[in-house]
Structure 1
């Protein structure tokens, strides 16, 4: 009887691990879904914006320890806001300096942002070194609680899930209950007609790109609670993130959420029965097979050309 309890606890822990992976994937995919799904821009540097957000948290941790140790319980929330502000501003600059010249040229956009990702990786490596770093987390993010025997739920995982929930709700409200969201959806549906009725589509593009980068910065700050950060940390997630967005339907945020959940839970449960590498291969193979049968993804919207 005890072995069945242990098995149930293990399966429950695997399910929670799947939710943690889902949270990381969704945090990454939210920003990319806005940039790629809403604008059609293939941003290969998206992972580097996550790394910049993570390094921002690390810098705030080091500065707080050195200059204001009494603020350690509070610095983390401030660092998340700073990560958003820095990556939003950098995204605005990148859109103005480079991306706006490459719209409707997907291959050029892919190559240009891939080059940008290499530049940002080298800049991070030159600034912080090649070794991975981790911030000192506040005490309220440490430890775990035990809802039942054999089951330990880490508090940092719960925090990442809470951030994901709040950020997803905020993006949904912004897209479907605000004037900015209305302009974004109008531009996606028919760019020429949107411009004809007075919508500044270039401004919409710039804010949308910057917001997607800002969300990646928040994802990076949350990422530091569950893993160390290195110059190439963001690039390790970019393929899975693109796959999540495409699998869910490139222009559907609901599809992105469903896709992240399916991929994360499938991979987590598979890892219980096989190695991590084989579980990833199985998950990606299943996704590719489904995309062959349904190339528009799980969800799709009708877009006027």
Structure 2
């Protein structure tokens, strides 16, 4: 095998890792907002991702049946719908369940785990136990070949662009919007935020719902690289928590860096060993680094 062939294979594995990076980053962003900013351990976060994935499937099926002429245009609208529907379910979940469990992390873990199992059963009863895949637009199919022997999938480039857009939007909203100011004030000192007139309960609800909505967008991105089943989201929840913990809880920059590192390590190592061994290697590296730096890569600086 020549050097050029090895180089092209390494590049393609790297781009394959970017697709995984995109899904992990979107999942991690939602968790970083919910877990890092609010201290809620949301074990049902993967199911909000599944809501987004099934939304894309439903839009695909309805468009194909009733408006086949719009098949090339439905996908961006379905992504927006995935965010809105997951956001709505997140808002409802916070109002019905989460708001009663703040400052009780173990209770939130058990409650959201039970919610996760219940949502999986709803998916199974509604869509069936088998995995489903949407019909993607033609412009998402195929690959881009910048040089001979190097094929980069177009859907991976689209998902990466979507992830960068969402990440930039979250960072802009967190540091430049009224919502972001309220979130940061609530995290810094809830009592003082209440005293200045900030409705911290409403801020909590909106923050939780936005985190769930971002998970819905992660589900939309996931449909371009895999099929969707009732337990698809639960397969990513551990990796998403690893991303947040490894990057440093509450640090969005750490979430981006850890998602990229985990995805690339796993993707490139899968070329040289089996998938399970690549996963073990990735986990060993994370555990080793966390033993050296338990606060994560980019720990938030808090004045005590």
| 1:116-265 → structure 2 map (5 Å cutoff) | 116-265=115-264
Q: Which moved more, 1:271-280 or 1:151-160?
A: 271-280
Contact 1:190 1:304 in 2 (8 A): no
Q: Distance in 1 between matches of 2:263 and 2:138?
A: 28
> Could you tell me how far apart the structure 1 residues matched to 2:133 and 2:268 are?
28
Q: 1-side partners of 2:10 and 2:290: how far apart?
A: 29
CA distance in 2, matches of 1:295, 1:197: 35
Instruction: Quote how far apart the aligned CAs of 1:161 are.
Output: 0.2
d(CA) in 2 for partners of 1:146 and 1:152?
5
**TM-score between the two structures when normalised by the length of structure 1:** 0.98
Q: Deviations over 1:116-151 (max 9, x none)?
A: 000000000000000000000011111111111111
Residue matched to 1:271: 270
Q: Is the 8 A contact 1:36 1:42 kept in 2?
A: yes
Deviation at 1:304? Answer: 5.0
C-alpha distance in 2, partners of 1:5/1:291?
Answer: 36
Q: Specify every segment of 5 or more residues in structure 2 that has no aligned partner in the other structure, as ranges.
A: none
For residue 230 of structure 1, give the secondary structure of its aligned residue in structure 2: coil
Partners of 1:15 and 1:96 in 2: CA distance: 41
Work out the CA distance in 1 between the residues paired with 2:72 and 2:14: 30
TM-score by length of 2: 0.98
Partner of 1:73: helix, strand, or coil?
Answer: coil
**C-alpha deviation, 1:302, in angstroms:** 2.5
Moved more, 260-269 or 48-57: 260-269
Tell me, what secondary structure is at the counterpart of 1:152? strand
SS at match of 1:300: coil
- Give a deviation string over 1:40-76, Cα, whole Å, max 9, x none: 1000000000001100110111101111111111111
Q: In the alignment, does 2:2 pair up with 1:3? A: yes
Shift of 1:303: 2.9
Q: Is the 8 A contact 2:19 2:225 kept in 1?
A: no
Write the distance in 2 (CA, Å) between the matches of 1:265 and 1:60: 32
1:32 maps to: 31
Q: Is the 8 A contact 1:189 1:304 kept in 2?
A: no
Instruction: Tell me how far apart the structure 2 counterparts of residues 265 and 8 of structure 1 sit (CA, whole Å).
Output: 15
Q: How far off is 1:256 after superposition?
A: 0.3
Q: In structure 2, what is the equivalent of residue 63 of structure 1?
A: 62
Cα distance between partner residues in 2 of 1:158 and 1:30: 19
Q: Which runs of 5+ in 1 are unaligned?
A: none
